[in-house]
Amino acid sequence: MLLNSFTGNNNIKESLLGALASGRLSHGLLLCGEKGMGVNYFALLLAADITGSTDTDGIAAGRNPLVQIIKGEGASGLIRVDKIRRINENVNYSSINGEKRVIIIENCENFNLNSANALLKNLEEPKDDITYILTTNNPRSILATIRSRCAVYTLTVPTQPQVLDYFRAQSADMQAVEGLMAIYGENIGKIASALGSEKRYSILQDAVSLHECVKKGDTYRAAKLCYTYNKHKDDFRLMLEDLRDICHRNLSTKSIQTINIIQKYSEILLMNVNLNLAIENFAVEITK
């Protein structure tokens, strides 16, 4: 089974594969885990095992007719009701040969009330050949009506030895891996992202420098660094995420204050705001 290739979370894998083998797998599954934990990849592997496929790339690219993947749109990642209504139309038809079908809905915390309500009926009265796999990085934001109709599984970070073994198998630079673990902990997705992209690693280094500015109260340097992102909102948002991770690994009263400010500006960046002004205000607030 492809799910067994996922690093860590052996109890959850055994539970799901056991339920699948015995025909007791819930028709509604909610997979929770922090960003970088691989909840969407876990869902992909599980969908492959449910449908009997070995081509996860084909599933991810939308080439497997037995698996539909629904994602949000725009900076907010909103899952619009029209997408759910199209699903509802499709599931009314049984598969031709009785194959199992899977609908993956990524980051389902981004449902609005209309899209959530549109899905509820199918979760309440599921067809025998359909499994819904919902994923989230923010389980506290999931509507109670959705959560109550799903079997909930929360992925946890793998152990340090498991992470090191994973990257050794990838022939990664283990010194770099250990350095990144000092920031990201045992989060394989975040470590792999920084290892695989010079740009992503550069953003992380900027976050490290910004953390030094915060500790020293250096508003000028903080503003100067942040202004290099004045035309790159998405990259600035990534730097804020990295700064949050750094603060979590170096907890202090100042770090907690910074985390709260990061949360405030992460929400501001989802709106149509003057990015230059937001960056200026952010640099001032974090270095007070």
pLDDT per residue over 140-190, tens digit each?
Answer: 888 888 999 999 999 999 999 999 999 999 999 999 999 999 999 999 999
More confident of the two residues 128 and 29: 29
Binned at pLDDT 50, 70 and 90, residue 113 comes out as confident
pTM here is 0.88
**pLDDT for residue 87:** 81
**pLDDT for residue 86:** 84
**pLDDT for residue 271:** 85
Does residue 50 surpass a pLDDT of 80? yes
**pLDDT for residue 95:** 62
Q: Which residues pair with 151 in a beta bridge?
A: 29
Measured in whole angstroms, the distance separating CA 59 from the mean position of its chain's CA atoms is 18
Binned at pLDDT 50, 70 and 90, residue 104 comes out as very high
**pLDDT for residue 202:** 97
**pLDDT for residue 78:** 87
Does residue 90 surpass a pLDDT of 80? no
Structure tokens that stand for 10 in this block:
């052996």
- Which residues contact residue 239 at a Cβ distance below 8 angstroms, ignoring those fewer than 6 apart? 203, 206, 207, 210, 229
Per-chain mean pLDDT for the chain: 93
Q: Of the ranges 66-75, 114-123, 204-213, which is most confident?
A: 204-213
Looking at residues 15-39, what average pLDDT do you find?
Answer: 96
Residues 218-241, buried b or exposed e (16+ Cβ, 10 A)?
bbeebbebbeebeeebebbbbbbb
Q: Which residues pair with 31 in a beta bridge?
A: 135, 153
**pLDDT for residue 96:** 62
